[in-house]
Amino acid sequence: MAKLPRAVRQLTEKFERLPGIGPKSAQRLVFYLLHNPEAELDDFARKLRALKRETVLCSVTHNISEQDPDPLYADPNRDRRLLCVVETPLDLVAIEGSGKYPGLYHVLHGAISPLNNIGPDQLYLYDLLDRLEGVEELILATNPTMEGEATALFIKELIDTKRQNGQAGIADDLKMTRIGHGLPIGADIEYADGVTLARALEGRTSL
């Protein structure tokens, strides 16, 4: 039985680790690259190395950026009374694409998922409390999935508890809203179009 070269097998295994890529898709990607000119592969390798070297995680918003702090956070024209919590940087990009949201963001990098051993400590969740001073509305824009709903509920209960205990920086009249109208249950924000996201933002409800 024919055996694939070691280099092909090793790269195939790497591609298989990517989300949504199965063994057959991984093999197709490897053979596609194999038939590219060497100069193209060198350029691909340079861009792959630059992915880590030329990006940073914003120390405030946790968005992926070229600089710290994230330019969106540093922009003086953003409405600092609004803070939108999203699961991933791709969700942030999608909401920005709607052109309807003028405030700031906080990226969690995931959602609470006990089945996948992801709890609040694995997310950028607790430092959200330090960003609530001056915020009038906190928009919980986690995905409308079981994990996203659980995460939104956890954040609401956490803030309610801290507020009842008189934690400084959290206003008594802080409004917490949840986007939902226009987004079907089970949908991911990053795949929604701009019109749908605009309607979801406009139709957010109080928690």
Whether residues 10 and 74 share a domain: the answer is: no
- Within a domain: 1: no
Whether residues 90 and 29 share a domain: the answer is: no
- CA pair distance 30, 123, nearest whole angstrom: 33
Closest CA to 82 of 106, 97, 104: 104
CATH number at residue 10: 1.10.8.420
Whether residues 49 and 22 share a domain: the answer is: yes
Digit-coded pLDDT (tens) for 138-187: 999 998 888 998 999 999 999 988 888 777 678 778 899 988 656 665 66
- Within a domain: 99: yes
Whether 102 contacts 93, CB under 8 Å: no
pLDDT at position 180: 63
pLDDT at position 18: 94
CATH number at residue 125: 3.40.1360.10
- CA pair distance 120, 151, nearest whole angstrom: 8
Please count the helices (runs of H) and the strands (runs of E) in the chain.
7, 7
- Within a domain: 166: yes
Whether residues 64 and 29 share a domain: the answer is: no
Whether 141 contacts 95, CB under 8 Å: yes
Q: What total number of domains does the chain contain?
A: 2
Closest CA to 158 of 188, 119, 189: 119
Lookup: tokens for 164: 């009842």
Digit-coded pLDDT (tens) for 81-115: 999 999 999 999 999 998 989 999 999 999 999 98
Whether residues 47 and 61 share a domain: the answer is: no
**Given the DSSP bridges, would you call strands 56-57 and 64-65 parallel, antiparallel or unpaired?**
antiparallel
Whether residues 134 and 170 share a domain: the answer is: yes
Q: Which of 22, 37, 53 is the last residue of a domain?
A: 53
- Within a domain: 93: yes
3-class secondary structure for 69-137? CCHHHHCCCCEEEEEEEECCHHHHHHHHHHCCCCEEEEECCCCCEHHHCECHHHCCCHHHHHHCCCCCE
- CA pair distance 51, 32, nearest whole angstrom: 21
Whether residues 119 and 23 share a domain: the answer is: no
- For residue 179, count CB atoms less than 10 angstroms from its CB and return exposed for 0-12, middle for 13-18, buried for 19 or more: buried
Containing structural domain, residue 172 = 57-206
Q: Is the pLDDT of residue 59 over 80?
A: yes
- CA pair distance 174, 138, nearest whole angstrom: 7
Whether residues 44 and 91 share a domain: the answer is: no
**Mean pLDDT (the chain, rounded):** 89
Whether residues 97 and 110 share a domain: the answer is: yes
Whether residues 22 and 74 share a domain: the answer is: no
- At position 140, the amino acid (one-letter code) is L
- Residue 154: in which H helix or E strand, if any? helix 146-164
